[in-house]
A and B are shown apart, each in its own frame.
Chain A
């Protein structure tokens, strides 16, 4: 069964087609790469899928349910999690509070006016910190972490809802080669252990081709190629889009 199915999705901003008639199928458990030059509409597509933008036309089915017009928070509750191009965490809270907060909605009634975070949630928060390698930073304020650690925390936040689909927007942006290597391994391990479906937008093509089972290429809002990494890599249209020749 496909976890995510997109049919004819279209979104324009003031006459400019950012996403144009895009079809996409994500199979359960696959890591799917989404690549393309700057301005190809990759981030717009992620925003449409997660519900931060509403499309002009087309449909989005998540786990077989039509969620095209559903608000973002409800899609998140259904098991759709994401990270952002620019690190998006609660910088003034500790790593622990960040994770506890992210876990509340899944394990408790988050509108409870009188009760504190239960200890079971704190334990789960520590388990997630282990998973993304932040145990020694557990008590630190998130804003003080290194760039790479902050990115890892953001992935940790996304994992807290036990999602079935994880959207990653340039998780390697701004990282050195060593950090990148570590992050690629982290993503691969998490996807494996949790049998997650991952849609990853990334400019580091080597990383994408190593991680992904399938790759989709977007240019000017349209999908120009989709398939196994080696087939996409040798596609002449893709080569032209990247080299401009």
Chain B
């Protein structure tokens, strides 16, 4: 029964806009779109952090640069949906390959610091371009598909499809041979190497797939809010994603979705009550650290 809960949540997401009082214009439909986008991003981070043991403290870079790429293309007058949907993704693949190829030569704290440094570089590059909004961010819009005009309702379902696709990719990867070797390299790197596996290449593949999924989430975010902000390239956002993964359950299949949902939920709930809502997030994180090691997913019987 308890194993069905995540699927019930997905089913709930599927029917919610149809039942919501305001239909596609409903405030909560917009909130849930954001939750789903963050779920994709957190799930992408979970692949490398939870299953691969790579603590990337710069995951905002792939999310944010895909966001920016979409907004900049639009700003430059590109309207082709094919270009708008593929160029940002390709960019995040190239970027994560480049960063991964370098950072995966380092370990531990250095790995964290260098992923952080690359993300900061992207952040400062973004805010230094005044014609693209600088620190104020940049207007974006929906990349309407040839067969589908993306109003809020349609966009909600596109996002839901992207979330299901991401989870499907994650599941398939984790059950593949690649996924087995990836999890092995986290559990015991030395043993994996002396068994004859190129751990570096395995991690790099995971890093790039993760970067691509984060880019997908970033593209969706630019279209959801029709605006891009440097926040989505900042280390605050990278930290936010790590919090989601750890809160939900690192290395647990639904960990990213649960963490993103709960954290966004707390945010929505408390920011209406007090401007000090982050205090409550902090207390909540402490409680999870003390009582729920392995993440909230433990309480709902989540599996690996």
Residues of A at under 8 Å CB distance from B?
Answer: 50, 52, 72-74, 76-77, 81-82, 84, 88-93, 97, 100-102, 104-106, 108-117, 157, 160-161
Contacts and interface: CB of A to CB of B under 8 A. Distances in A.
A101 B181 contact: yes
Interface in B187-210: 187-188, 190-191, 193-199, 201-202, 205
B177 A112 contact: yes
B73 interface: no
B288 interface: no
Contacts of A89: 188, 191
Interface stretch (B4-12, B168-176, B271-279): B168-176
B194 A110 contact: no
Contacts of A81: 194
Nearest to A112: B177
Contact of B205 (A93, A102, A111): A111
Given A90-B191, A113-B205, A114-B172, A73 B184 contact: no
Given A73-B197, A76-B193, A76-B196, A90 B187 contact: yes
B83 interface: no
Contacts of B177: 104, 108-112, 115-117
A55 B51 CA distance: 34
Given A89-B188, A111-B202, A100 B178 contact: no
Contacts of A108: 177
B175 to A, nearest CB: 6
Q: Is the interface of B mostly helix, strand, loop or mixed?
A: helix
Please name the 5 residue pairs, one residue from A and one from B, whose CB atoms are nearest each other, closest first: A76-B196, A77-B196, A112-B177, A105-B196, A113-B178
B180 interface: yes
A102 B195 contact: yes
Contacts of A104: 177, 180-181
A74 B193 CA distance: 9
Given A89-B188, A93-B187, A112-B176, 13 more contacts: A76-B193, A76-B194, A88-B191, A90-B188, A102-B195, A104-B177, A104-B180, A106-B196, A110-B181, A115-B176, A116-B175, A157-B191, A161-B196
A225 to B, nearest CB: 29
Contact of A111 (B175, B178, B187, B193): B178
Q: Chain A's interface: helix, strand, loop or mixed, by majority? A: loop
A74 B172 CA distance: 28
A210 to B, nearest CB: 27
Given A110-B178, A112-B176, A72 B205 contact: no
B195 A76 contact: yes
Interface of B: 172-173, 175-181, 184, 187-188, 190-191, 193-199, 201-202, 205
A74 B191 CA distance: 14
A105 B195 contact: yes
Contact of A72 (B179, B187, B193, B202): B193
12 contacts: A72-B194, A74-B196, A90-B187, A90-B188, A90-B191, A91-B188, A105-B197, A108-B177, A110-B178, A112-B176, A113-B179, A117-B177
A73 B187 contact: no
A115 B194 CA distance: 23
Contacts of A90: 184, 187-188, 191
Nearest to A154: B191
A84 B194 CA distance: 10
A52 B192 CA distance: 12
- Which of A72, A108, A110 has the most B CB atoms < 10 Å from its CB? A110
A100 B175 CA distance: 13
B197 A92 contact: no
B45 to A, nearest CB: 19
Contacts of A110: 177-178, 181, 197, 202
B206 to A, nearest CB: 10
A81 B177 CA distance: 21
Nearest to B209: A113
Nearest to A116: B175
Nearest to B205: A111
A182 to B, nearest CB: 23
Nearest to A103: B195
Contacts of A50: 194
Contacts of A72: 193-194
A160 B195 contact: yes
A164 to B, nearest CB: 13
A170 B294 CA distance: 35
B176 to A, nearest CB: 5
Nearest to A115: B176
Contacts of A93: 184, 187
Contacts of B195: 73, 76, 101-102, 105, 157, 160-161
A118 B264 CA distance: 41
Nearest to B180: A101
Nearest to B198: A73
A106 B195 CA distance: 10
